Amino acid sequence: MTPANRKKLVVAHSVHPDAPQHEVETNRALARWLAQILGLKFGGSFDPQQHAGRDLYLLPTQTLVGAAAARQLGIKGPEDLWGGYVEHDFICTKAISHGLLNYHAHAPKGWAPLFSERVRSVVLDGLSVFSFADARPAAEHLLYTGPIRLKPIHACAGRGQEVISSLDQFDEILARPEAKALFNEGVVLEQDLDQVITHSVGQSFIGNTVLSYCGDQYLTEDAHGEEVYGGSNLLVVQGNYDDLLKLDLPEDVQLAIHQAQVFDRAADEAYPAFYASRRNYDIAQGLASDGKRRSGVLEQSWRMGGASSAEVAALQAFLNDPAMRAIRVSSVETYIDQALPADAIEVYRGPAQNSDFLLKYVTVKSYDG
């Protein structure tokens, strides 16, 4: 932080009032840790009365949507938060990764066709659907080339997704009582891949520091046996993507970084009111139904995410050793009650939204092993 910003108060903010305990507590833990790193005071969770008129540095759990929300929180730009801002809700979801079926398909207010034009070469085959009437024609169009994955645009951690192999199977989904509401809210229909590796690529702009990173994420089973986000392994540098690409990286990782850069630039161009100080992108690489390897950006995260604790740990490591070139950090989420591994930093231990127990922690290792 610059001297002018030294009086900022670091504040956690759960955007949804009914947010689960693990999200609220993780948010507070990261805000407290970040305040310590930046040499600022931690102001607890955002309170409209307590924090009115204060100069805040906010850690929201979700991307802020709409000018009114940002104004209420005192957010004027990316220097006031670790997260992001968009004008319309759909912009911070999976929906922007793909275009619509045609010019007649329903589009939400603020939809920018320019974005899907710019990212077409760096995403998988797919379509975004915002109307029950558009759903079947979109599925029919995509199923010609193989199985597709249905992804509700507001779902996270891989929940609610289904793989569809035939139009008959899709018709069964359309016949469900909740189908109309589901498709009207927004759904992505996307090419399904086998043997998938999901890369995480991103940047964080915190104070005067820029962190750029690449890595992979993996799944774990929750208490109900559903595969959900289990953690991320990141390789982080101080500096921009060019500094990251100077490291000895495999070709598939270099490709993921380049694809994330295209997606990132397209967001700035197509949605000029958008800004973010945390920019994380998931890139899937795997085998398509024709046996060919495919790589594409799945979605963006302009908010606190599963890898955020690893990014804060990296920031701490660079603060401790400014001459360090790079660092390896990992965030872990497990639904098994266990002792903390040696040298791990606990972020959260307690009940989860869909199970009785969740443990989140971070580990740090040197770049060269």
Closest CA to 202 of 161, 158, 256: 256
Cα angle, residue 148 at apex, residues 116 and 198 outer, rounded to 5°: 70
224 shares a domain with 168: no
Q: What is the mean pLDDT of residues 248-270?
A: 98
292 shares a domain with 349: yes
Domain-terminating residue out of 149, 172, 192: 192
Closest CA to 341 of 231, 176, 205: 231
Whether the pLDDT of residue 53 is over 90: the answer is no
Check if the beta carbon of residue 202 is closer than 8 Å to that of residue 280.
yes
347 shares a domain with 223: yes
Beta bridge partners of 205: 210
Domain-terminating residue out of 133, 168, 192: 192
Which pLDDT band holds residue 245 (cuts at 50, 70, 90)?
very high
CATH of the domain at 19: 3.40.50
Q: Which residues span the domain enclosing 52?
A: 3-89
Share of the chain above pLDDT 70, in %: 98
179 shares a domain with 231: no
170 shares a domain with 299: no
144 shares a domain with 224: no
134 shares a domain with 60: no
Give the pLDDT score at 355.
Answer: 83
Q: pTM for this one?
A: 0.93
Which pLDDT band holds residue 369 (cuts at 50, 70, 90)?
low
271 shares a domain with 139: no
116 shares a domain with 22: no
Give the pLDDT score at 223.
Answer: 85
CATH of the domain at 99: 3.30.1490.20
State the amino acid at position 323 in one-letter form: A
Question: Tokens for 286?
Answer: 């795997």
Number of structural domains in the chain: 3
pLDDT digits (tens, 9 = 90+) for 78-129: 999 999 999 999 999 999 999 999 999 999 999 999 999 999 999 999 999 9
297 shares a domain with 223: yes
338 shares a domain with 204: yes
The average confidence (pLDDT) of the chain is 94
320 shares a domain with 210: yes
Cα gap 277→305, rounded to integer Å:
13
CATH of the domain at 349: 3.30.470
Cα gap 213→236, rounded to integer Å:
4
State the amino acid at position 16 in one-letter form: H
Q: Looking up tokens 């994420």, which residue turns up?
A: 217
Cα gap 202→17, rounded to integer Å:
28
Whether the pLDDT of residue 2 is over 80: the answer is no
Which pLDDT band holds residue 213 (cuts at 50, 70, 90)?
very high
